[in-house]
Amino acid sequence: MRAAPDGSLPLRQSVTNLRTDRQTCRESAFPVTVHPVPAEWSARAHVDAEGRAEKYRRSIEETEAFWREESGRIDWIRPWTRLSRCSFDEADFGIEWFGDGTLNVSANCLDRHLAEHGETTAIIWEGDDPARRRQITYRELHEDVCRMANVLRQLGARRGDRVTIYLPMIPEAAVAMLACARIGAIHSVVFGGFSPEALAGRIQDCDSRLVVTADAGMRGGKAVPLKANVDAALEHCPGVEAVLVVRHADNGAAMREGRDHWWDERRAAASADCPPEEMGAEDPLFILYTSGSTGKPKGVLHTSGGYLTWAAMTHHYVFDYRPGEVYWCAADIGWVTGHSYVVYGPLANRATVVMFEGVPNYPDFSRFWEIVDRYQVNVFYGAPTALRALMREGDEWVSRTSRKSLRLLGSVGEPINPEAWEWYWRVVGEGRCPIVDTWWQTETGGIMITPLPGAVDLKPGSATLPMFGVVPRLVDAEGKVLEGAAEGNLCIAQSWPGQMRTVWGDHARFFQTYFSTYKGLYFTGDGCRRDEDGYYWITGRVDDVINVSGHRMGTAEIESALVAHCKVAEAAVVGMPHDIKGQGIYAYVTTNAGVEPDEALRRELVAWVRSEIGPIATPDVIHFAPGLPKTRSGKIMRRILRKIAENDTSNLGDTSTLADPSVVDHLVTTRAV
């Protein structure tokens, strides 16, 4: 393994676009209380404090022996002999783990459990409609995966081909992912909330030949017309040869002869025998699109052996999981959390997984906790945004349920403010359940900074300590590595098996985005504080990425959607603090000459962005501005726009370099909310 850099190396690229004016819910006045690990947690845990420290030490100092052991939780067809070849330097840049090993990911999630545990429930599904429920054993899941794998082959999918999956949270989503893994096809799951335009872009970028979708998905009693969205997207995707459609809502979706196929009809005729392909550890498993500071979303590529090892290992330790327990991750499979902690990690560990199609407030605000009681859920893993929304509705919705089965609670996707943490702890967990605040990213494949429940004292709002094999570094804007208690930009100094391997179709962009800012380090894009106990506190993104309800979005994407509207001349989008969503979307818009901005245009632009990207990108504020604050060289000063959006206009900093400083006064006086 490479040694960590000392930080004295020169910077490769200017980092002046990175934020230094962070304001997040971390700056809450809530006092920090420490929750020490009770003896009963450490007694039942896979590792206690000592065990954790020893494993962490081994992961860094005896790397090969450590990974030999941990990768042993995976069944290899041909065991690896070469641990890793990783470099974050431009000259010999590359990431490879377990390179000469072979395996099949679906066989690890299914086949190996069958002999003794085939009748164990793999998926407990609860529909948006509480009356719709299904339970699927490992044997049944295996059969369906084999059938779908055979159908995908009949429709032309081969090893290495890309298959786009655009499905609601139904068991067929896991079936489709595992069916791809079985035949070596690369899946690209697109969140069902994305618009036809966003879907088309993702299909085109990776040249998918096949799409798996459903007639519709259900959310909060309303149908989301997925098949109609696919039809609209495919107008722009001539490369797609076939669409496999799961019948779910029976909404009479139109089918195109020769291209579209009902899954239930093909399933009835398909064989349940499909031997798994032997795949190399570094063969691609999936692509998942995620937003960055610039340009269109990137296709993050994860491969097979390292990713599965990381997903399974982290699921095992972080949730302290033991087979037989009921485990529920409330994330959608359209996001990386759904990949690693609804499907791959838990199924590799033979978990019984709850899968929920609906939303936390339908039919009412008790829904989550009723599901917990109904299935006796032991582990619940969800996003702060949902907790904040539920917290606002009052404790009664929670307290009228039992929740006695709960043993552990998790949080993911965005900073959890201490108020929400304490509510989760006190009201949901009744002071019994450890809370694991897990920091990670699409790019990291799995959890990176997190408490281990039997080992790490908890501090509300802190993701606490690094996972085994993770070496965090905090650096200042000049790239100097900071020691001890400090605040800076969060980097990771050496590779770990779950790390992304490339940006699909653009390896140079992979290097440029993550490794060129600070030489020899992976730059996460997050700001972070380390306290005197070595605990990490994520303070939010320092680049032009915003996190709305745990959904990651590039401000550039929303800006390009806005300027694509015929009445818009220019747009600048920034995040604003939002009580429930964490961050909201604040858009400054300059209209074309002769266009009078009014309420009707505001509504039109909001609807436009929703149709271009999807409802998750709905702007919270549209601020019509005759001009934007620009430097004389024409660069928009986002720092000022952020301050105005945050309603922090008392100290706008130096505005003397602006071409026209009066623009700022105008924006301040016309601020909408």
Task: Tell me which residues touch ligand PRX (CB under 6 A).
Answer: 290, 335-337, 412-415, 437-442, 463, 524-526, 538, 541, 547, 552
Min CB(274)–ligand PRX separation in Å: 31
Cβ closest to ligand PRX, residue 352 vs residue 442: 442
Instruction: Scan for tokens 């065991």, then name that residue.
Output: 79
What single-letter amino acid sits at 606? V
Handedness of CA 365, 538, 550, 383 (dihedral sign): negative
Cα 318 to Cα 47: distance, rounded to the nearest angstrom: 10
Rg over CA atoms, the chain:
24
DSSP letter for 71, please: G
The residue nearest ligand PRX at its CB is: 442
The answer to whether the annotation marks 220 as part of a ligand binding site is: yes
440 is in an annotated binding site: yes
User: What's the closest the beta carbon of residue 304 comes to ligand PRX, in angstroms?
Assistant: 20
Residue closer to ligand PRX, measured from CB, 412 or 664? 412
In the complex with ligand PRX, the residue whose CB is nearer, 105 or 331, is 331
Q: State the minimum distance, in angstroms, from the CB of residue 669 to ligand PRX.
A: 33
Q: Which of 165, 258, 177 is nearest to 217 (CA)?
A: 165
Q: Is 610 annotated as a binding residue?
A: yes
Q: 95 vs 616, which CB is nearer to ligand PRX? A: 616
Residue 290 or 352 having the CB closest to ligand PRX: 290
Closest to ligand PRX by CB, 358 or 413: 413
Which residue type sits at 498?
Answer: G
Give the residue among 136, 148, 138, 141 at the shortest CA–CA distance from 182. Answer: 148
Cα distance between residue 144 and residue 122, in whole Å: 12
Minimal distance, residue 525 CB to ligand PRX, in Å: 5
Residue 314 known to bind ligand? no
CB 254 within 8 A of CB 225: no
Least distance between ligand PRX and beta carbon 320 (Å): 18
- Collapsing DSSP states into helix, strand and coil, what is residue 346? helix
The answer on whether 442 is annotated among ligand-binding residues is yes
Extended beta strands in 310-431, E state: 326-329, 352-356, 379-382, 408-412
Measure the CA–CA gap between 615 and 505, rounded to whole angstroms: 28
Within 13 A of 651's CA, how many CA atoms are on the CB side?
1
**Least distance in Å: CB of 337 to ligand PRX?**
5
Give the residue with the Cβ less far from ligand PRX, 241 or 646: 646
Give the SS3 label for residue 179. Answer: helix
- Residue 120 CB, nearest approach to ligand PRX (Å): 28
Query: 441: annotated binding-site residue?
Result: yes
| DSSP states along 351-368 | -EEEEE-S-TTSS-TTHH
Whether 252 has a binding-site annotation, put simply, is no
439 has binding-site annotation: yes
Q: Is 41 annotated to bind ligand?
A: no
Q: Which residues are annotated as a binding site for Mg(2+)?
A: 563, 565, 568
- Binding residues for CoA, by number, are 219-222, 337, 361, 549, 610
What residues form the annotated binding site for ATP?
Answer: 413-415, 437-442, 526, 541, 552
